[in-house]
Amino acid sequence: MNTYDVIIIGAGSIGVPTALSLSKKKLKVLVIDSQHSPGQVNNKKAIGGIRATHSDYGKIKVSQKSIEIFSTWKEKYGDDIGWIANGYSFPAYNKEDANKLKELMKIQHSFGLNIDWISPEEYEKKVPGIRTKDLQGSTFSPDDGSASPLLAINALYFESLKLGAEYKFNESVNDLYLENDRISKVVTNKGNYRSKYVINAAGNNAKQVGKLVGIDLPVKPDSHEGAITEPVERFFGPMVVDMRPTEGSANYYFYQNNEGQVIFCITPAPPIIGTDSDSTSVFLPQVAKRMIELYPRLANLKVRRTWRGQYPMSPDGFPIVGKSKRVNNLINAVGMCGQGFMLGPGLGELLANIVTEELSNEDKKALKSFDPYRSFSNIEQFK
């Protein structure tokens, strides 16, 4: 039987960067995925936004690391992953939202994040033609950005291959054998493998993987649809997040990527639980009405493709990352709540440090945000 230092279940947004980080540390890594190639479930459905401007220490730190990796990838490794530092913006169309965002900015500043409040006039310069009626101003965080999930995951994948990581595609984990509170054997439909550590990075299937060793992981995937347009000359700068809930949907967001295409996505309300990934007729009219109302200029932009994917949700909107107390060599990295792509590279480093027991104090502090044994009562407001 083949023996590895670490077996990662899932070659997605978390699994691939983690394999790279572990390989860099010269560990022998095997990644198992039921799909045909990396990132084929939810990674490729991500719209590609990457921000550090979250509301908690853990996500901020991890995302800062991710941004460092994404933004320097091309100069370090040569391949273009579509990174652009286009920034994020949360425009506020009522006083309440403006206040909430300004309050949050205080926390964000305390973590040293580069984010400012800009006036409606300044905002219109960044997003020319956006509706200014009732606009109170907007946050703007210029260090945030975006990259292509498709290019990024493949770049990371090929780099990890170079460093010796192994991948088994079209292979699904059917069982995890326990011996003395440790996973002694990973059983797939094609073979058996042993490793010192097992990382559950199974995204949508995280809960099912936990079940194999009797752990109940509170991860529930819910569905979101997204779309991409034709490319046009750059006409606006940052990611625009309209956080106002309305009937049938919560927030929605869009940005113009490195190719000049606008990518957008909406959060259905109430959430649509399940992993069905076939498109529905609801999405386009729902999101188009909101986008055109906010930004009429988008009316002439042609929609090219739409898709549906999942946010593997945790009860409070924060990821669940850390060692299992019951199964000694199992590390869970699950419940990314739709932010797996932006958290992935940073989290990969963190997970590698868990495995090699090289956690810094900052790492330990960050992991507290993701503690699998927290109460899940403090709901994330700015997802």
Partner 1 sequence: MVSNRIKEHPILPIEKKKNIFFYWNGKRLTAKKDEVISSALFANSIKIFGHHHKDDKAQGIFCANGQCAKCTVIADGVPVKSCMTTVKQGMKIESVEGLPKLPETDEHQISNIEEVAYDVLIIGGGPAGLSAAIQLGKLNISILIVDDKSELGGKLVLQTHKFFGSVEDSYAGTRGNDIGKMLSHEVKENDKITVWTNSIALYVYKDRKVGILQADIYKLVKPKVILNAAGAREKFLRFKGNSLAGIYGAGAFQTLVNRDLVRPTKRLFIVGGGNVGLIAGYHALQAGIKVVGLVEALPKCGGYKVHADKLARLGVPIYTSHTVLKANGEESVESVTISKIDANFQPISGTEKTFACDTLLIAVGLESVSEFTDEAEKAGITVYAAGDAKEIAEASSAMFNGKIAGQMVAKEINNDVTDIPQSWYDKAEILKKEPGKTFEYNFPKQEKGVFPVIHCLQEIPCNPCSSICPTNSINMIGDPIMDLPVYEGKCVGCGKCVVICPGLAITLVDFRNDDNYPTITIPYEVKNHTVNIGDKLICVDIDGKYLATLKVEEVIDTKNNKKTQLIKLKSPKNIAKKIVSFRVQDKEVTQPLEMDTPEIDDDEMICLCEKVTAKEIKKLIRQGITDMNQIKAITRAGMGPCGAKSCDNLIKQLFRQEGVSLENVEKNTRRPLFVEVPLGKFADGGKK
Interaction site with partner 1 (CB under 8 A): 36-40, 44, 128-129, 150-151, 153-154, 169, 229-233, 235, 260, 276, 278-282, 284-285, 287-289, 291-293, 296-307
Q: Which is nearer to partner 1, 216 or 233 (CB)?
A: 233
Neighbours of 337 (CB within 10 A): 21
CB of 153 to partner 1, least distance (A): 8
Q: Which is nearer to partner 1, 117 or 169 (CB)?
A: 169
Residue closer to partner 1 by CB (options 129, 164) is 129
DSSP annotation of 84 = B
Distance in angstroms (rounded) separating the CA atoms of residues 237 and 204: 32
Neighbour tally for 12: CB within 10 Å: 31
Q: Rounded to the nearest whole angstrom, what is the least distance from the CB of residue 320 to partner 1 in the complex?
A: 27
Q: Minimum CB separation from partner 1 for residue 117, in Å? A: 26
Give the integer Cα–Cα distance in Å for 383 and 379.
Answer: 10
Are residues 8 and 30 in contact, defined by beta-carbon separation less than 8 angstroms? yes
User: What is the distance between the alpha carbons of residues 26 and 221, in angstroms, rounded to a whole number?
Assistant: 33
Residue 156 Cβ, how far from partner 1 at the closest point, in Å?
Answer: 12
- Considering only the C-alpha atoms of the chain, give the largest distance between any 2 of them, rounded to a whole number of Å: 66
Q: Nearer to partner 1 by C-beta: 300 or 377?
A: 300
The position carrying tokens 């279940």 is 9
- Residue number, 172 or 353, with CB nearest to partner 1: 172
We find the least distance from the C-beta atom of residue 252 to partner 1, in angstroms, to be 12
Tell me the closest approach of the beta carbon of residue 84 to partner 1, in angstroms: 15
State which residue, 215 or 282, has the beta carbon closest to partner 1: 282
Alpha carbon of residue 55 to chain centroid: 15
Q: How far is CA 332 from CA 44, 165, 232, in A?
A: 22, 20, 41
CB 104 within 8 A of CB 382: yes
**Tokens at residue 341, please?**
């792509």
Q: Is 204 helix (H, G, I), strand (E, B) or coil?
A: helix
Cα–Cα distance between 289 and 269 in angstroms, integer? 16
The distance of closest approach from Cβ of residue 352 to partner 1 in the complex, given in angstroms and rounded to an integer, is 25
CB nearer to partner 1: pick between 230 and 362: 230
Residue (of 277, 252, 349, 270) closest to 17 by Cα position:
349
Nearer to partner 1, 60 or 262 (CB): 262
Residue 121: both structure tokens together: 């006039």
Q: Minimum distance between the CB of residue 111 and partner 1, rounded to whole angstroms?
A: 33
CB closer to partner 1 out of 154 and 356: 154
- For residue 285, whether the previous peptide bond is cis, meaning omega lies within 30 degrees of 0, is no
Is the Cβ of residue 295 or residue 382 nearer to partner 1 in the bound state?
295
Cα 42 to Cα 75, 308, 329: the distances in Å are 27, 9, 26
Nearest distance, CB of residue 150 and partner 1, angstroms? 4
Pull the structure tokens for residue 309: 């994917």
**Residue 251, helix vs strand vs coil:** strand
Specify whether the CB–CB gap between 203 and 216 falls below 8 A: no
Residues with Cβ < 8 Å from 357, sequence gap 6 or more? none
Residue 220 contacts residue 273 (beta carbons within 8 Å): yes
